[in-house]
Every structure is written in structure tokens, then in C-alpha cells.
Amino acid sequence: MTGSPTRRQVLRGTAGGVLASSAVISQSHAASAAATYTAPNPRVRIDLNAGWRFTRTDVAGAEQPGFDDSGWTSVNTPHTWNAVDGADGGNNYYRGVGWYRRHYTVPSELAGKRLYLQFAGVNQVADVWGNGTYLGQHKGGYSRFRFSVTGVLVTGGDNVIAVKVTNARDTGIAPVSADYTFEGGIYRNVSLLAVDNLHVRMEDYAGPGVYLRQSDVTATSATVTVTTKLWNDANSTRSVVVRSVIADKSGNIVAEAATTAQTLAAATGAQIGQTVGIDRPRLWNGLADPYLYTASVEIHDVTGGTDRIADIVTERLGLRSFAVHPDTGFHLNGGHLHLHGVNLHHERAGKGWAMSDADHVQDFDLLRELGANAVRMAHYQHDQKDYELADERGLILWAEIPLVNSVTDSTAFTASTQNQLRELIRQNYNHPSIVFWGIGNELTDYNGTATNTLLASLADIIESEDPDRLSTYAVRSEDPDNAQAGLHTRVTGFNKYLGWYYGSKDGELGAWADALHSNSPSRRIGISEYGAGANTAQHALNPPKPEPGGSWHPEEYQSLYHEAYWKQLAARPYIWGTFFWAMFDFASDGRNEGGRAGINDKGLVTHDRQIRKDAFYWYKANWATTPTLYITSRRWTQRTDAVTELKVYSNADTVTATLNGPPLGSRSSGDRIFRWADITLRPGQNTVTVTATIDGATYTDRVVWTLA
């Protein structure tokens, strides 16, 4: 290993703030080009998703091992009790207590290990017992949490895990209210983790315990500071060496560092900082090249002259730099990148919040098809699978906490919200896809003292925990542009529904943005939400703006809305990012509009992921590099007016159309919209066919409309 001499250093600005103690570290730049690395894995993770018993009521004594749960329902996690009643309207879905229990035999070979019970997400408050022993309570419905079960669960024998969950309204926990269903249950994965007594810390807000801070990232070199939080649960002092290894996708070591041996007393911890340099790094470059290294931290127990690897944590590392300029918007690795994307909820028809990994992959496949390069993870911490997929696929993320609508002026609410932010940051610190940390959305009391005191504290937490990323906030449509709530963060998003809830879709958004940019030239402005509802079974030719709360939401208006919005947004490079609302229809049990009770229908894909609405293809024609040729109003199959319009979205230069065989001629377009006005249908079936040549290949789309 090459590099500078070993030295002592106190690191600042890493995850978790100033390190508590000095750490002996070594620095290195490029390691031997011939060296390869495969990380061993002394940890054990056991899936505990199968075999639960569940009842949707509060039951006395259900935490006791001998409790009879034979009459309860058999379920597997992820599970929610609101998948159906939370999406059928009426705002009367069950909000109360549910109990989960399961038996589990811990493998005898795990004797002597430290054991942790991990929950990836439980909404909203979870109380957990093991063999009748109370392990603790977690508040907040979206973040991962762990409880130590060492000495509580026995190895080689039967154990009973009991979990009491409630999604009852609680004014001490954010969110108190929001425009979506608060589904109850253990809706993400459950697992048992086993680690050595000498290990990377497991209870640092359930984060990885290894934090990768990158700096001075260029095509020539990059610096990575690896902060490792150690813990010694052995009953004696240990001598410890920490080795950090960064390897490329082929396993070639590109940098490494190792500490000298140092002592760690029993039942104590330490933080170790190591700085390495990487020469000629391959950058994580968004959709174009989302390249990932791996960073592995080995914990060596060298007590008594031996060398035993006690623990290893491996995290993926994407090296990139970013900036937002008030005039030129977002930049990735020094180059301008117009961020355009979606707002994403973690919910789908029939399953609610209890989504599988395959469900998450399908959602990100649709994002890739659309051509989005950015996602706002509304309005809370998402499953780790989403962040991993974004890392792998090169999407830029806005991650945020569930501070929505209102603030409770109480110590409990403040503490809970701050805790949720720390959990979000610690658990997701190493994801290269995350660029923005969001501290809130549409708080109605935008100039209130309690609101702004809390927001200021959250912005300060981001500066302390992760000063390299950008804090942001989503301003409510109705709020003044200079409302105090929107002034705490480095960059700002605005939720603007001109042409849906108020105003006009034609020109008003651009005029508003230009005025704000002119009046506040130093502000970094993004559009965090915009959208309109659409029912794929409702249709009209060039309809006027529907009533947002009404039953008539024709699909064609949503298309006209997004056409107008995107043209205004694309023409303004100073807008650092745009996120339409929303990628998918989602459950909001208090809504009853667009002919569908319990559903927010602003998605560009239906709740069941079966139909891509017309507006989906408008963005695909503008954003995706894949060939697009799509006839709109295709689901309007039964017609009563003979004279209609043919409209096509395509990224071709020219599109040719026929109606029932005879040609309608060719059209060229500078805005990806191709129109044939006043075509006349004949009684009965009519076949419309369009063709185009894109990148040297011929594509065809066809629809059948029947005139009664």
C-alpha cells in the first residue's frame, strides 16, 4: 500500500457531526493495479417475512409467549391492513391497533453473536416484544429501526416475536395529515441480523455505521473520507485495526487504507476516519453512466497477536459532483443537466404500501421507459430498494421527511420530526443518487413561529449531518413566493397547479417563474409539483378545464395541461428541476373525484400499473431516447361525432397517417406533437394507422375507433 505516513486527525463535517475522538488513520491514493478484492461477509441476515399471525384489533396479553393466536389470520410481511379500505373512498379506513406474532427458532450456530431485530418500515408506532420482554418503541412510519435481542432470543430454541402497531392519528408525530392514505401495518421487510461482538455500530439511527464522504471529485481525482463507527460488545478490551478498501466493478482495488492497532475497551465505541484518494475515477454520471464502486470496511480483531476479521460492511460508492446555479440550474460533474422527473408514492392497487422488490423494479422500469432523470421521493423516506435502484440506474433524487400540511407546537412533535430527519440522512447517506434533502411540504402556517422554528432547526440538522448535499422545501401553491417557510433551505421547490386548481395552464407558469427569477435573482428555483387528474375511461375533444373535485376528468385535458406546462418549463434553464405530480395514481381515501372514489388520479400511469395515460407518451416523446410513436385518445373507442382530430406524440421528424386505408398525408413538427385536424370517421369501425422512421427503422401505431 502506498500513501502518506500514518497520522492522527480529528475529522469534521462527516455524518453525525464532529467525531468524538481522534482516530489513527492512514491515507493512500491508487492501490496496486493488479490487486483484486472480494469482500468476505461474516454477518448473517435472516429473512423473517413468512409465518406471521395477525389480528386487526387491540388484544390484552398478546405480547406473552404463551398467548393463543391460533384464531388470528396467517399473513406474510410486507403487510398492510388498509390495502382495500384505504382506497375505496369515504375517508373511513381503519386507523387503530393491529397485532403481529410469529414463532422463530434462531439457528444454534448463531450462539455468541450479537442479534438485532430489524424492521424496514412500520406505520406508524411499533411496540416490540421478544419472548415477553419489551424491546422498545419506534415512532415514525417510514424509517428503518432495530432492537438488540441478544440475550432475549435464545439460539436453538423456539422464540416468540410480538409487535403491536397503530396507525391511529397522533398529533405528536409527523405527518399529522396529508393527501394520501396512512396505511397501517408491518409493510416492509423484517429480518434478524447477527454480528460479532466487535462490530460496526448497529444502533446509529439504524444507519450502516460506515459513512462515505466524497470531496474534490473531478475526472482527474477524487477524495473519499470513510468514517466508521465501531462498538465493542465483548467483555474485554480488544485491539482493533480498521481497513477500508475501495474497488471498481471488476473487483480491482483502486484505493485502500488501514489504521495502526488501537485498543477499544469493553462496552465502548469509537469513530475512525480514513481518507483515501482515487486517481482518474470513473464518475457516477446520471443516466449516461451510473458507475458504482464498492467501499468495504474490515474490522480486524488483532488481540493477542492474532488477526481475525470480526465484521465487514460494504457500501456502494458513486463518485460525482453537483451544483445548482440560480441562472443555469442543475449541474452534474461540471455539466448542465436539466432535471425532469416525477413525484413517486410507494403504493399500488391491491397491495397498498406492502410492495415487493419486484413491484419496486417495475416502477423503476416505467420511470426508465418514460425517460425521467429525477425523482422526488414524496413525501417520506422510501424503501431501500428504491434508493438502490436509483443508484444503479442514474436517477437524481430528492429525499424528504413526512412533514406535510401542519406542525404541532409541542416538544414531542419537534423531537420526532428531527429524529425522522436524522434517520433519513444516516440511513441513506451513502446513496449517490440523493442530492437533495427535503425538510417539508406545503405547511399551511407558512409564517407561523412554530413552523419556522422547526424548519430552521431541520435545515441546521442537514448542515450538521451532511453539509455537502442541498436542503430544499416545497412551497404550497397558495403561499407567497417570499413566505418565510420557503426561505430556510439552500434551494426551493414550488408546487404550482396553474390550470388545475386555479389560473390557466397557458403562459401563466412561465410568466410567474420569470417574475420570481427577475425579482429574486439569487434564489435557486425548482418546480416540485404540477399536475392534473385524468380518468382513462373519460374522453372529450379539446375539453375546457374540469372541476378538480368534480366527477369528470377527461384524459385529454391532462394531456393538454402537460403539453402546456412542459413547453414553459423546458424553455427556462434557470429552473433547476421539475417534478410532475404524480407518476402513478395512488390511494387517498378522502378524495372522491374523476369518477373514482378514494384515488388521486393525477398519475400518468394507473393505480394498477396497467395503463400508461396519453400524457405519459408526451413526456416519453420529449425525454426518452427510445423511439416513440403514439396515437392519443386511443381508449376513446366509441365515438358519436364523425369529425374529430388525430393527434400523435413522437420523437420522429415526420409522421404519416392513413384512415381506413387512404392517406391523410404527412406532418412535420417542432414540438413532438403531430396533428391532423377535422378528419371524418365513417359509420362503424375506423382504422387509423401512423408510421414514422426513427433512427433508420420504421415504426407503426394503430387504433380502431367506432362511430355509432
The position carrying cell 382504422 is 687
Q: What are the residue numbers of the active site?
A: 442
Q: Would you give the DSSP letter of residue 109? A: G
Cα 197 to chain centroid, rounded: 33
The whole-angstrom separation of Cα 55 and Cα 48 is 18
- DSSP collapsed to 3 states, 35-103: CECCCCCCCEEEECCCCEEEECCCCCCCCCCCCCCCCCEEECCCCCCCCCHHHCCCCCCCCCEEEEEEE
Q: Which amino acid is at 473?
A: Y
Contact criterion met (CB below 8 Å) for 472 and 398: yes
Burial class of 49 by CB neighbour count within 10 A (0 to 12, 13 to 18, 19+): middle
- Distances 652 to 317, 556, 655, 658, 666 between C-alpha atoms, Å: 38, 22, 7, 17, 12
The whole-angstrom separation of Cα 183 and Cα 171 is 16
- Distances 489 to 247, 379, 470, 484, 518 between C-alpha atoms, Å: 35, 17, 8, 10, 20
Which set of grid coordinates corresponds to residue 521? 435573482
Contact criterion met (CB below 8 Å) for 175 and 404: yes
Q: What angle do CA 606, 609, 611 make, to 5 degrees?
A: 60
Which set of grid coordinates corresponds to residue 612? 400508461
End-to-end CA distance of the chain: 80
Contact criterion met (CB below 8 Å) for 518 and 574: no
The whole-angstrom separation of Cα 50 and Cα 100 is 12
Contact criterion met (CB below 8 Å) for 613 and 558: yes
The whole-angstrom separation of Cα 145 and Cα 381 is 13
Contact criterion met (CB below 8 Å) for 113 and 44: yes
* Secondary element (H or E) of residue 9: strand 7-9
Coil, helix or strand at residue 441: strand
Query: Within a 13 Å sphere around the CA of 414, how many CA atoms are in the beta-carbon half?
Result: 13
User: Buried (b) or exposed (e) across 153-170, using 16+ Cβ within 10 A?
Assistant: bbbeeebbbbbbbbbeeb
Contact criterion met (CB below 8 Å) for 370 and 620: yes
- Distances 431 to 14, 428, 529 between C-alpha atoms, Å: 15, 6, 24
- Distances 61 to 58, 116, 391 between C-alpha atoms, Å: 10, 24, 44
Q: Are strands 577-580 and 339-343 parallel, antiparallel or unpaired?
A: parallel
The whole-angstrom separation of Cα 200 and Cα 270 is 10
* Secondary element (H or E) of residue 670: none
Q: What angle do CA 172, 178, 179 make, to 5 degrees?
A: 165
Which set of grid coordinates corresponds to residue 537? 375511461
- Distances 14 to 127, 415, 426, 466, 629 between C-alpha atoms, Å: 32, 22, 11, 7, 48
The position carrying cell 442514474 is 394
The whole-angstrom separation of Cα 355 and Cα 323 is 34
